[in-house]
Amino acid sequence: MSIKKRLFALLDDGHFCFIFNDQTHPQAIKEIEDYFSISDKLNKIQFNVEYNLADTEIFTFSQTPNDPKILPLIKKYTDILANTLNGHEVKECSDNLSKIVCFCFSEKKGAIETIKFSRVFKKYKLSNKKVLGIFGKGKPEVVEVNNQIEFSGIVDAYWDGQTLTFKKFNHISSLFDGVHQFYREANELEVHQFLTQSWFNLSSDYDVNTIHLRSSKKIAQIMDSKKIDFSNPQLFGKITSNINQFPSNKLKIEKGKIIISNNEDINEFLKYVESKYYYSLIDGEPMEALATQKAK
């Protein structure tokens, strides 16, 4: 019979090790399978760093099956599975437990290979610790635990054979090479180009070096999308009109320019660009959205 389920691991040096599969250790696979369960009814939400997921939701970078931008992210994992099937040797995990940074549980469903990823943080590694336990029908005993890893029961990312989903970006960012293209910072040149647009008047003590990380990431998204035409006076007029009419406006506009004195000012401007300020259709009250995303 062919192997359908495997538990393997990513090591801190980028290599992999195999732990067991349903042919060599069928009972072990059954015992740990529940730790890698994830609902197939979660609503996929396009990744937005400011969006707070509900329990019924999960992030994705793309909902397009086998998106060419996503396939390179999981290539090293699918390659290692393919290589073992072709007879290539992969090291065993017995001497590498301390190096494990992620458990990978793969399951072959027909022609599709799915992979569930569970991060192994330091708190899950048990070494030189004493624990109290009851074994069988015996009395409580103090035993020493050494070189063991606790299964967290958390699936941090899931490749269903076509799309990649995840809960927290910072938990999966080190697992997938190239993932930062979906949440990158603007480089110094891009920030400089953004801040020196004719729309702004910068204070003397505000420059590229004082901008905060989150603002830098937002600027990168704006620059990549190319949705803002800074040479368009009509667009500038719409934005400044929106700024002036909103009661909680914190920005100042003088001589046709938006005054930027600190990070709070640039963050306020970015909120207007992202249409986070609006009026309620029910009672006309001014509202602020915590996050925005394109409607389907």
What's the pLDDT band for 154 if we cut at 50, 70, 90? very high
pTM of the model: 0.67
- Structure token digits, residue 121: 């943080």
Of 4-18, 32-46, 54-68, 122-136, the one with minimum mean pLDDT is: 122-136
**Alpha carbons 29 and 20: distance in angstroms, whole number:** 8
Of 51-60, 68-77, 249-258, the one with minimum mean pLDDT is: 249-258
Element (H, E) at 259: strand 257-260
Segment 67-116, tens digit of pLDDT: 999 999 999 999 988 876 444 456 677 777 888 999 999 999 888 999 99
- Radius of gyration, CA atoms only, the chain: 25
Of 14-18, 29-33, 38-42, 123-127, the one with minimum mean pLDDT is: 123-127
**Alpha carbons 54 and 180: distance in angstroms, whole number:** 23
Asked whether residue 174 carries a pLDDT value surpassing 80, the answer given is: yes
Nearest C-alpha neighbor of 100 from the set 83, 122, 77, 76? 122
pLDDT (0 to 100) of residue 86: 46
What's the pLDDT band for 295 if we cut at 50, 70, 90? low
Average pLDDT, rounded, for the chain: 84
Domain regions of the chain by residue span: 5-182, 188-288
Backbone dihedral angles phi then psi of residue 51, each to the nearest 5 degrees: -85, 130
pLDDT, greater one: 46 or 209: 46
Partners of 103 in the β-ladder: 9, 118
Most confident of 224-228, 252-256, 273-277: 252-256
Asked whether residue 248 carries a pLDDT value surpassing 70, the answer given is: no
pLDDT, greater one: 59 or 208: 59
For the chain, the maximum distance between any two Cα atoms, rounded to a whole number of angstroms, is 83
**Alpha carbons 268 and 265: distance in angstroms, whole number:** 5
Q: Going by C-beta distance under 8 Å and a sequence separation of 6 or more, which residues neighbour residue 142?
A: 130, 131, 132
Residue 141 in 3-state DSSP?
strand
Which 8-state DSSP code applies to residue 204?
A: T
Mean pLDDT of 249-265: 87
| Residue carrying structure tokens 């290692």 | 80
Most confident of 31-40, 173-182, 202-211: 31-40
Backbone dihedral angles phi then psi of residue 208, each to the nearest 5 degrees: -55, -35
Cβ atoms 113, 78 nearer than 8 A: yes
Mean pLDDT of 177-200: 82
CA angle (275, 281, 284) in 5-degree steps? 90
pLDDT (0 to 100) of residue 161: 94
pLDDT (0 to 100) of residue 268: 87
Which 8-state DSSP code applies to residue 95?
A: T
pLDDT (0 to 100) of residue 87: 43
Q: Going by C-beta distance under 8 Å and a sequence separation of 6 or more, which residues neighbour residue 82?
A: none
Q: Going by C-beta distance under 8 Å and a sequence separation of 6 or more, which residues neighbour residue 114?
A: 106, 107, 108, 158, 159, 160, 161
pLDDT (0 to 100) of residue 102: 95
